[in-house]
Structure 1
Amino acid sequence: MSESSQPRDVFEAIADPTRRRLIHLLAEARELPLHELTPQFDMGRTAVSKHLTILKEAGLVLDRKVGRETRFRLNAEPLREIQDWVSFYGKFWSANMLR
């Protein structure tokens, strides 16, 4: 959790392309360990882990220990905030398309 112990903003968490890719990979799989996620990126294990931490702070990723391994899975519920925000502005896009 961040220093202020408040959840990280979901919009901030998904702003980075690496984190969006992590969300996509986790959405396709039920659950993945760090060693299977890392080869998908041009960065080291520590950097991928830091991105996962940001997603965890936003509530988008859950983790669990299995022996010595940590497995990560997507928690898509916080993405509802993004969907609601985009849906609200959808009526403006529709109105402009009708013009």
Structure 2
Amino acid sequence: MNIYVGNIPRNSEEQPIRELFEEYGSVSEVKLLRDRYTGELRGFGFVTMESEEEAQNAIDNINNTELGGRTLVVNKARPRTERSDNRSFGNRNQRSW
């Protein structure tokens, strides 16, 4: 099961997050997302656990706990939706004459 982990302190590393979740079962992947330009953590990531039961137990026990002075938000990850690259930024590309 893929688990969303939000409100992660920006100075966090993957290993402590992995260890936190491994208390509840087998973790196959930890991915903390970084800003593509600055390389800084974006404050959220995903943990993949092998078993649905272990994952739900981790969610129930870790959600609303504190890590590095921040309260974690932990829940089942929603499927990613595709974004169009044709996003509109106002009418910047349209001429009005």
Tell me whether the two structures share a fold, i.e. TM-score over 0.5: no
Greater C-alpha Rg:
2
**Under a length normalisation based on structure 1, what TM-score does the superposition of the two structures give?**
0.27
**Under a length normalisation based on structure 2, what TM-score does the superposition of the two structures give?**
0.27
Greater share of strand: 2
